[in-house]
A and B are shown apart, each in its own frame.
Chain A
Amino acid sequence: MSQQYMMKGNEALAEAALRAGCRYFFGYPITPQTELSAYMSKRMPKIGGTFLQAESEIAAINMVLGASSVGARVMTSSSSPGISLKTEGISYIAGSDLPCLIVNVQRGGPGLGGIQPSQADYFQATKAPGHGDLHIMVFAPASIQEIVDMVGRAFDKADQYRVPAMLLADGALGQMMEPIAFPDESEEKKLPEKPWAATGTKGSRKPNIINSLYLNPNKLEDSVRERFERYEKIKENEVLYEEVMTDDADLVLIAYGITSRICKTAVNMARAEGIKLGLLRPITLWPFPEKAIAKIADHAKAFMSVEMSMGQMVDDVRLAVNGKCPVRFFGRTGGVIPTPDEILQAAKDVLASVGGDK
């Protein structure tokens, strides 16, 4: 067995990023994400990388744009209000077809909100991570080990499609510790070639231009359409999800991140009482596992989206189910973590209200 470590989510994420070849980190401190920056500040200089605490989140995301333009594997991290500040830069990065990793360790909102765990930035991450016609890939880990395993993948996929990737965690995942092991400890990470990077022509080729400004509407439309062709490939090939006892389930819970773990407990409690509960856990939020949900909708009696928000992902569940059966919602917000008991009770209430055989 490989070496086990006990690490906070924030620190494990940082270490996994270093092991994935990230050598540039630009950020600005904010609870509950700060340990990630702190870890980077300690380790980056020792391995020849660059850690820079910028004067603001806006500066940090634009430094990410710059570093990515010249082909660096680069990331930034923040928490909800800080991500709002970064959205302009995220849009520019997406519009310039640049890969990078953005980490959001979500806290309660809106506004300055609170500092306790939340999932209220689902809309922001999946619908409007910046202005304009754009998507970013959104990964939603549910454990510290999954954070570790996912960071390298997020960087690789961002490079492969030249699309920014976001890792959407929350305060609980950031702050908690679990035993973890790092993959491929012996292998030196090989990063992909980036022939598009603005690294200087040395007189041997045409200049590479990194840009998101197209004053000719037809040219801008062409560039957006080309990007959307890549989005279609991402939707086809990169959807990740986990199913727990959905085959015979009457009611299927949909939950991601920390909430999905609590739902798993609720599913096990329900099964012990003879209630057929199941769970589908989206691991990628964009692309969303809409086909998997549609398939379950053929036999389940109902769905219940469980979130630490007032109901955001539930909209995507409704679109995927497309009227085949009822879609309900249970959530806690503002930094409150739901308990398995209240999820189970809400599930029983839904089952009582939908009743009957399918």
Chain B
Amino acid sequence: MDKNIVLAGFGGQGILFAGKVLAYTGMIDNLHVSWLPSYGPEMRGGTANCSVCISENEIGSPRVLNPNILIVMNIQSYDRFIDTVVDGGGVVINSTLINKKTNNEKINCVYIPATEMANENGLQGLANIICLGAMLKQSGMTSYKTMEEAVKKCVPASKAHLLDANLKALKLGYDFEG
């Protein structure tokens, strides 16, 4: 099935990076992939979001308006995107910063205190990867191994010392029992 993914949060929460990791999973799995960031003034301290499409077929529009997978990391993003998810879609919600719950029973939500978990485990700034782990568990969109490999490809050589922390964050999110 096509994966139409939206990731959203503050600028600085690693939204675009998390989206890039997802795009790499598609490339590793030999699927068609597109990654499109929001760009412009809204990225400076405001909200950042990106669309990732992964499909067995050629991708038309790279902009996802109605995702079947949504990761939201702050309240503004929750408010903006929660009603755009298609029926049967999956949502990962960073409950440290989002104190709302949806009544929509047609979507499957995981509430994960990702920011809190990151801080408690010395993984400051990696709530994004914790959310990816939770999303992977929920969606089964690819194998754990592929996701690990994608993280390895996305952490630049200049930040190689952060690789272990990223992999730890992925595991933490994946093992989260909601």
Interface residues of A (CB under 8 A from B): 4, 6, 31-32, 115-116, 171-172, 175-179, 258, 261-266, 337, 339-340
* Per-residue A-contact encoding for B142-160, CB less than 8 Å = 1, 0 else: 0000000000000000000
- A266 contact set on B, CB distance < 8 A: 60
Q: Does B125 contact A (CB under 8 A)?
A: no
- Complex Cα–Cα for A265 and B64 (A): 13
The B43-65 residues at the A interface (CB cut-off 8 A) are 58-63, 65
**Minimum distance in angstroms from B116 CB to a CB of chain A:** 31
Q: Quick one: which of A6, A32, A261, A337 contacts B59, CB cutoff 8 A? A: A261
- B27 contact set on A, CB distance < 8 A: 4, 6, 179
- Complex Cα–Cα for A32 and B61 (A): 18
Q: Quick one: which of B26, B33, B60, B65 contacts A264, CB cutoff 8 A? A: B60
Q: Does B36 contact A (CB under 8 A)?
A: yes
**Minimum distance in angstroms from A2 CB to a CB of chain B:** 13
Q: How many residues of B contact A (CB 8 A)?
A: 19
Further pairs besides A177-B33, A178-B59, A264-B58: 20, Cβ < 8 Å: A6-B20, A6-B35, A115-B40, A116-B40, A171-B39, A172-B36, A172-B62, A172-B63, A175-B39, A176-B34, A176-B36, A176-B37, A176-B62, A177-B20, A177-B35, A179-B27, A261-B59, A266-B60, A337-B61, A339-B61
Q: Identify which of A4, A6, A116 gathers the most chain B CB atoms within 10 Å of its CB.
A: A6
Q: Known: A176-B35, A339-B65. Is A261-B40 also a contact (CB below 8 A)?
A: no
Report yes or no: A6 in contact with B40, Cβ–Cβ below 8 A: no
- B39 contact set on A, CB distance < 8 A: 31-32, 115, 171, 175
- B60 contact set on A, CB distance < 8 A: 261-266, 340
Q: Which residue of A lies closest to B40 (CB)?
A: A115
Q: Which residue of A lies closest to B39 (CB)?
A: A175
- Complex Cα–Cα for A264 and B62 (A): 13
Report yes or no: A178 in contact with B34, Cβ–Cβ below 8 A: yes
- B37 contact set on A, CB distance < 8 A: 175-176
A-B contact pairs, 7 of them (CB 8 A): A4-B27, A6-B35, A115-B39, A258-B62, A265-B60, A339-B61, A339-B65
- A6 contact set on B, CB distance < 8 A: 20, 23-24, 27, 33, 35
The B1-59 residues at the A interface (CB cut-off 8 A) are 20, 23-24, 26-27, 33-37, 39-40, 58-59
- B58 contact set on A, CB distance < 8 A: 261, 264
